[in-house]
Amino acid sequence: MEKIMDSKKWRNLAIAVIIFALGWVMPGMGAVTKDGMFALGSMISLIFAMASGVEAWYVLLLIITFSIKNKLNITQNVFPEAFGSYIMWFIILSFWYMAGVAKTGFLDFITKKLLGLKISRKGPYWLMSLLFVSAFVATALTQSVLAVLFIMMAVLRGIQKSLDLKVNDKWLVCAGVGIGACILIGSVYMPFNFSFFMYGGIMAQTFGWVRNVNAGAYLIHQTVGGVIAIVLMVVVTKYIVRPKLDFASLSGLELTSGENQKFDKSMGVVIITILILVVAVGITSFLTVGSGLFDFFSRFGITAGFALSCVLLMFIKNSKGERCLDFGKVLSENTHWSMLFYIGAIVYVGNFISAGESGIMAQFASWFTPLRNLSPIILIGILGILANLLTNATNNMVVAMLLCPIAYSVLGMESSLAQAATVAIIVGSLSGNALPGSSTVGIVQHTYKDLYTSGKFIAYGYLFAILICIGQLIGLLLAQGIY
């Protein structure tokens, strides 16, 4: 007879239930009320269950129990509010969109074009710069994090073999860490990026932070942050890490392989969809409030932009004659339903955490009152660095949910810098690369045992994490007046 769950999952389920039960019976503490403790226990239970792989039926059990305890109408309010929000549909549509873009071959085309440039033959640090820029640009344009990672790491392995570089060679490790870092900062570059809107939307619905991020400020921030991070990673590798290599054979190195892929109609449609998404997010920043166009695009929004982009990809075939987006396949293969259930429940329970009756926000404010004496920019910089360092050791959603209310309690949710704080924390929590648990990129990169050991990768991973944060802070300094 097939087991329902193995012993590890039963253990994780038991821990999740215990956390939930403790929140139920714990008395209020400080400013936090008994209802606040129950909401907090429910939130921690959900996050632990999601991170430890408990199946999504636990979400249904918890949300029903949570509703009964709070005397809520399960049919009319709880399920529609938990699983019918725009955040849920945004995530679903963005999954579908990324699947369609990957099928067009646009990503492979962009990467090969960049790596075919003559600049890659000029020396090891020119080559490193090109690898980093290629990873950054390809991910920024397509949002296909893992697809870019696999292509770029295949290129790096080819370089390692062609130049006969040994495992843990300093240049090789720095190049591997930097590729992963550039993929992560590239994935949050565009204003419509999936990761930022998923986490930013959760912050908005959970803590009441409702203003849209200024697209112009966001692009300036991430452009400056990304460029500076890339420059710093190359400079630190050259002058501080100082690898000793013979790159004499670099001029004859072949970085691309396979047949030359031509730009086709399906790739052109990807360009159109990128323009649609950029316009959907950014155009309201340049329109007069109250005008007809402002009203239209305010209603249209990013979710509609993804929906329209998915429809366009559905009617296009790639160079192999395959449909770029087959909704039958994408429903079963590219939609993470379990994660969606968890996110819906976490957002719903989070609304109770941020409510005044819970006392949780008031408790945060009292704990971090001394931080009010710091410059807001310094505070945001500190929180961004903490987000990056902490996310390497724990779930990035946990980090964002922990640090965002600290920023809001000090800055105030009505402050214009609340947007900047949200950006810094979310980007920091999504750009961890040093430990396997930091991100999907971190998990995959630690499997490349033929290139470097985990110990060496972790050391440079934390070093480069600081460089990413420096880039983000300088970008924030330039963009703060626009947020």
- pLDDT tens, 152-168? 887 788 778 777 788 88
Q: Is residue 317 one of the residues assigned to a domain?
A: no
Q: Is residue 418 one of the residues assigned to a domain?
A: no
Whether the per-residue pLDDT at 108 is higher than 50: the answer is yes
- pLDDT tens, 204-234? 666 655 455 677 788 888 999 999 999 999 9
Look at residue 236 in the predicted model and tell me its pLDDT: 95
Q: Is residue 453 one of the residues assigned to a domain?
A: no
Instruction: Please give the structure tokens belonging to residue 393.
Output: 């050791």
- pLDDT tens, 113-141? 766 677 766 788 888 998 999 899 888 88
Q: Is residue 68 one of the residues assigned to a domain?
A: yes
* Boundaries of domain holding 31: 1-83
Please state, rounded to an integer, the average pLDDT across all residues of the chain. 81
What does the pLDDT average to over 179-188? 91
Q: Is residue 161 one of the residues assigned to a domain?
A: no
Look at residue 248 in the predicted model and tell me its pLDDT: 62
Domains held by the chain: number: 1
Min mean pLDDT across 16-30, 255-269, 368-382 is at 255-269
Q: Is residue 60 one of the residues assigned to a domain?
A: yes
Contacts 24+ apart (CB under 8 A), 237-245: 237/125, 237/128, 237/170, 237/171, 237/174, 237/178, 238/125, 241/170, 241/174, 241/460, 242/170, 243/124, 243/169, 243/170, 243/171, 243/174, 244/170, 245/124, 245/163, 245/165, 245/169, 245/171
- pLDDT tens, 345-358? 877 887 787 677 88
Q: Is residue 435 one of the residues assigned to a domain?
A: no
What does the pLDDT average to over 409-426? 80
